[in-house]
Chains A and B, each alone.
Chain A
Amino acid sequence: MSVLGRPLARLEGREKVTGSARYAFESSPPGVLYAWIVQSTIANGTIREIDSGEALGMPGVRFVMTWQNALALNDAGDAELLVLQSRQISYRGQVVALVLAETLEQAREAAAQVSVTYDSEPADVSLSTTHPRLYAPAYTNAMFATDSVVGDVEAALGAAPVTIDATYSTPAAFNNPMEPHATVAEWHGDDLDLLDATQGTNWARETISAVFGLPPESVRIRSQHVGGGFGSKGPTRPNAVLAAMAARLVGRPVKIAYTRQMMFGLSGYRSPTISHIRLAAEADGRLTAVSHEAFGQVSPIQEFVEQTAVPTRHMYAAPNRLTTHRVVALNLPTPSYMRGPGETPGLYALESGMDELAAALGIDPVELRILNEPAIDPESGEAFSSRNLVGCLRRGAERFGWSARDPRPAVRRDGRWLVGTGVAASIYPADVVPSTARITAYPNGRFELAVNATDIGTGARTVVMQIAADSLGVEASCIDVRIGDTALPAAAPAGASWGTASWGWAIMKAGAALLEALQTTPRIPDSGLSVLSDTAEEVAAMTKMARFAFGAQFVEARVDLESGEVTVPRMLGVFAAGRILNPRTARAQFVGGMTMGLSMALHEDAVVDANAADYANRDFASYHIAAHADVPDIDVEWLDEEDGNITPTGGKGVGEIGMVGTAAAVANAVWHATGIRVRDLPIHPDKLIEQLPSPY
């Protein structure tokens, strides 16, 4: 059996269970200073004055960096990184000063003594579909078209016997990897060395070298172990820029970590979304119109447009379609990448709407989706490289016991609980970007794989080893793996579910070339025989096709009539994500995604305090994420999917497909249990309790 497809245990598992795996902050070069961020306490206006005097007089304090004494930075296309460059404040929590001291305790206490006065302006913090400053951006995140119109949606809606018109909303969602963002920065002359909690050090190096005006080769960034990211550690964040800038100014190494509270503002988050969904169908269930108008927010300094309506463009066949995005700049922290940008909130809306349509038509929700399965990508007209949504739905229905389901809502009672089941479909792009990789053969029979992949908990380190072993036809134990360092051949960041496919293609190419080179090399030199690959040409030459992973989610929900509490005893996800390269780590990704989707559906709620003009619940005591007791045993299965039209790895990526459909499946199950359609996540008890029948 090939090494690919084997459930190998994580290479770094032992380090992780013994505590020897070091994350970004866990290094203290000699002479290191600790940095503590001071954040703005107004949401809009300007800094009038900063008095650092008292802080500077405190023991151990070496420097207080403000807009007046910071280095001048270059704009690298992300205004979030232009820290301490002006008096301007655009949201509460923006960085206004950085205190550097000999110890953490000294830095933290001194930060509280930095006195900042402001000239405050009124702040605008409420998102609505009627906000006068809503605008159509030039494009969404990932450069998708802002609007797409096919046919005549209004006419189709007017003519259809069955229509749905509903608005769904999701609150701001904070990534909150367990490891807060952190950086250790050290200059050697004009060369900069960073240990950074990032999903991709090449991307980070591009950003950092641009911000500081350095040649990329004088910046080295490493991220050996990363404590989760979920998108928040994709782009470089202010922590890395602050550490590098401060280290330059004080001439000593500097380490910085966000507090958990700072994670709610300085590391990105998913914009709250509002989706106006309109569906029109014939009585037989065939869709005649799909309309998805999405609304979100950006910050005054940086535009990141959640592509909420984009997944709707590819899901179902309907002759008339409309998808639009409108955003408004509010005085709130800058939204950014969060697991499944676009798909996650967008599919919650669309797949809830499809459930409402199924009920209105009296058609089973699984069958309704199958009925509207498109033959080609409705948006581009391109063929799908493979599309096994129907297979996922059918297999899931069988495994979940769907056929026995009574479609009527609110009729299953078990003591004080109402019980229901729900389904939703999932889609996520299977993209690839160019990467490079080097494999070196040594005379002792070992091989070194060098590829600047990043393992943020996905199992990347293990999977790239398997791909290398497979390409060389050797056992995985013959491969030494080096990742997470810009000194290695450049590779894609871990994000957008494209990491494994991108790294894997480069590794396979290097492996094949090395095998060839070995044939003509009578004796491998002691220094080894190396091959460096680059997939830029192959990626550019890929034929245009619609490449996506698909999935179907099935959920059982129980709703407590006494309290309105929702529990989920059972979840099933069936996925079609191409070839599964390591079943053990892939399963963990699917299960982890479903767990986060469950958390989104039932728990996570970011509340804007209009008076303070900020999110009010900025910690784990008040921003609840799913804990052990909230998470059932999660059942995951995948279809064997051979797709010859994607990368040679055959894998479509598994980081996001597990998450994107989960919340809709939960909400649909809650409707089936109670008859109550919650169109505004999360489904907290207060949204149910008043409409629930008496338990007695």
Chain B
Amino acid sequence: MSPSEVRPNSAPSSSIALSVNGRERALEVDNRASLLDTLRERLDLTGTKKGCDHGQCGACTVLVAGRRVNSCLTLAVAVEGDEIVTVEGLSDGDRLHPVQQAFLERDGFQCGYCTPGQICSTVGLLAEAKKGWPSHATADVSHVCGPEGVTLDENEVRERLSGNLCRCGAYANMVPAVLDAQAAERR
């Protein structure tokens, strides 16, 4: 990252290369730009949504280096070199990611605005469960998992997905979708 010359009366910007959904994207970004706004306004990747811009709703969730993050709380300049995956990068060509498929089958959404965040968050939480990470809903954190990681149940899903708000109230259908996705991942 090379901070460009600061022109008088001009906000400092940086030339960076972002790796998004497996593609290198070179761009000059305002240093103040969030990853969320950079994806949406600069790269036309509008699948990632802005619900609050304050880290309070999860609509902007993307995967950075495999972990779920709120892209509204992440500066674009801070993730140069990291592998960024957005909802647009989950499917394999026309084949939906198992989490997308499960949300579709279980009708895990209504207006769809929180959905990309819920889906990316689910991809992240399945990876966390696989690594054996416990949650607040895990009864015994000393024996959380076998070789496949934590086997989720409804309460685990509700707890682990609570950073993603849904005003339509589609939660009840998302829970079985997440459980389906974990089952599919293990098949």
- What A residues does B86 contact at CB under 8 A? 19
Q: Tell which of B9, B53, B109 touches A57, judged by Cβ atoms closer than 8 Å.
A: B9
CB < 8 Å A-B pair total: 192
Task: Kindly list chain B residues whose C-beta atoms are within 8 Å of the C-beta of A12.
Answer: 112
A22-B46, A23-B113, A177-B111 given as contacts; is B51 within 8 A of A621 (CB)? Answer: no
A414 at the interface (CB under 8 A from B): no
Complex alpha-carbon distance, A345 and B24, angstroms = 53
Interfacial chain B residues near A18, Cβ < 8 Å: 47, 87-88, 90-91, 96, 100
- On whether A634 and B172 interact (CB within 8 A), knowing A59-B11, A178-B166, A592-B110, the answer reads yes
Q: Which residues of B contact A103 (CB under 8 A)?
A: 30, 33, 41
The answer to whether residues A621 and B54 also contact, given A104-B41, A595-B171 and a CB cut-off of 8 A, is yes
Minimum distance in angstroms from B168 CB to a CB of chain A = 5
Contact A620-B165, Cβ < 8 Å, known A260-B54, A631-B158, A634-B172? yes
Q: Is B164 close to A, CB under 8 A? A: yes
- Check if A533 is an interface residue, CB within 8 A of chain B: no
A296 to B39, CA, bound (A): 43
B68 interface contact, C-beta 8 A? no
CA of A428 to CA of B107 in the docked complex: distance in angstroms? 25
| B16 contacts the other chain (CB 8 A) | no
Are A17 and B159 touching (Cβ within 8 A)? no
User: Which residue of A is nearest B29, CB measured?
Assistant: A105
Closest A residue, CB atoms, query B113? A227
Q: Which of A580-635 contact B (CB under 8 A)?
A: 584-585, 588-589, 591-596, 599, 619-621, 625-629, 631-634
Check A628–B113 contact: CB distance below 8 A.
no
A18 to B101, CA, bound (A): 10
Interchain nearest-CB distance for A635 vs B (Å): 9
Contacting pair B104 A592 (CB below 8 A): no
Q: How far is the CA of A230 from the CA of B11 in the complex (A)?
A: 39
Q: Any chain A CB within 8 A of the CB of B161?
A: yes
Tell me how far the C-beta of B38 lies from the nearest C-beta in chain A, rounded to whole angstroms.
10
Main secondary structure of the interface of B (DSSP, over half): loop
What number of A residues sit within 8 Å (CB to CB) of B? 66
Contacts of B48 in A (CB 8 A): 19
Does chain B have a CB within 8 A of A408?
no
- Cα separation A10 to B51 with both chains bound (whole Å): 23
Name 28 A/B residue pairs within 8 A (Cβ), A-sorted. A9-B104, A12-B112, A17-B100, A17-B119, A18-B90, A19-B88, A58-B9, A59-B11, A104-B37, A104-B41, A178-B49, A178-B51, A178-B111, A227-B111, A230-B167, A259-B53, A459-B110, A591-B170, A592-B110, A592-B169, A595-B172, A596-B167, A627-B165, A628-B159, A628-B174, A629-B137, A629-B155, A631-B158
Give the interface of A toward B (CB within 8 A). Answer: 9-10, 12-23, 25-26, 28, 57-60, 103-106, 109, 176-180, 225-228, 230, 257, 259-260, 456-459, 584-585, 588-589, 591-596, 599, 619-621, 625-629, 631-634
Point out residues on B near A: beta carbons under 8 Å: 9-11, 30, 32-33, 37, 40-41, 44-54, 56-57, 59, 86-88, 90-91, 96, 100-101, 103-105, 107, 109-116, 119, 137, 154-155, 157-159, 161-175
Given contacts A59-B11, A631-B169, 15 further A-B contacts (CB under 8 A): A10-B107, A15-B112, A17-B103, A17-B109, A26-B46, A57-B9, A105-B37, A225-B111, A227-B112, A230-B167, A591-B169, A595-B169, A620-B52, A626-B171, A628-B157
